[in-house]
Amino acid sequence: MTDDLRGLRPQHPSLYQLAADGHSLEFLYAQCPSCGRLAFPANVPGCGHCGDPLQQARIVARPGSATLLEFVTLHVPLLPGLETPRIAGDIRIADGVVEEGVIAVSDESQLHAGMELCAVAVPLPSGEEFTCRFVPALQGGAA
Ligand SMILES: [Zn+2]
C-alpha cells in the first residue's frame, strides 16, 4: 500500500485538495476581498466575518492544520457504511472557522482538547476517491 494518493479524486473537491506531498490535505477557502479573512467552504454565499457577498473572492488553499476543540466517540453508524466506532470532533481549521471532522485514531486516549491536528487523505473503499481524516499533527508526516 502506498501513501501517495495522487491518482485518486477528492470526495469533496470543493472543500479540499491533495497537497504536494501526495498525502496531506489543503483546505480551500474564499479570501474575503473586504476584510481579508478566510471563509469556508469557499462557495459560501457571504463572508461570515463582515458580510461581503464574496463575489470577487479569490479561492486560496491553506495547509490542513487544525486545532481540536472537542470530540466524541460514535458507536452507531449515522450513515450507511460509516465505520464504527469512529471519533468525531469539532475542529478549528482557520481563524473563526470550525468544522466537524473525523479523527483517525483508535481511541480517545490519544486525544485532548486543544491539541494540533492535521488533515490527511484516506482512500475510500471504491479505490477511486479519497476523503478527509484528521490525525494528531505529530503523526502527520509519518508514512
Ligand atoms: Zn469579510
The pLDDT, as a whole number, for residue 142 is 45
Cα of 55 vs centre of ligand 1, distance in Å, is: 11
Cα of 11 vs centre of ligand 1, distance in Å, is: 28
For the cut 60, the answer to whether the pLDDT of residue 2 exceeds it is no
For the cut 70, the answer to whether the pLDDT of residue 99 exceeds it is yes
- Ligand 1 ion: nearby residues, β-carbon < 5 Å: 32, 34-35, 47, 49-50, 52
Cα of 42 vs centre of ligand 1, distance in Å, is: 12
- Are 1 and 20 contacting, i.e. CB atoms less than 8 angstroms apart? no
pTM exceeding the 0.75 threshold for the entire prediction = yes
| Site of grid cell 476517491 | 129
Cα of 106 vs centre of ligand 1, distance in Å, is: 38
State how far the Cα of 74 lies from the Cα of 2, in Å rounded to an integer.
28
Average the pLDDT over 120-143 and give the result. Answer: 83
Average pLDDT, the chain: 90
State how far the Cα of 60 lies from the Cα of 16, in Å rounded to an integer.
10
Average the pLDDT over 59-74 and give the result. Answer: 96
Task: Provide the sign of the torsion angle of the four alpha carbons 113, 108, 142, 128, taken in this order.
Answer: negative
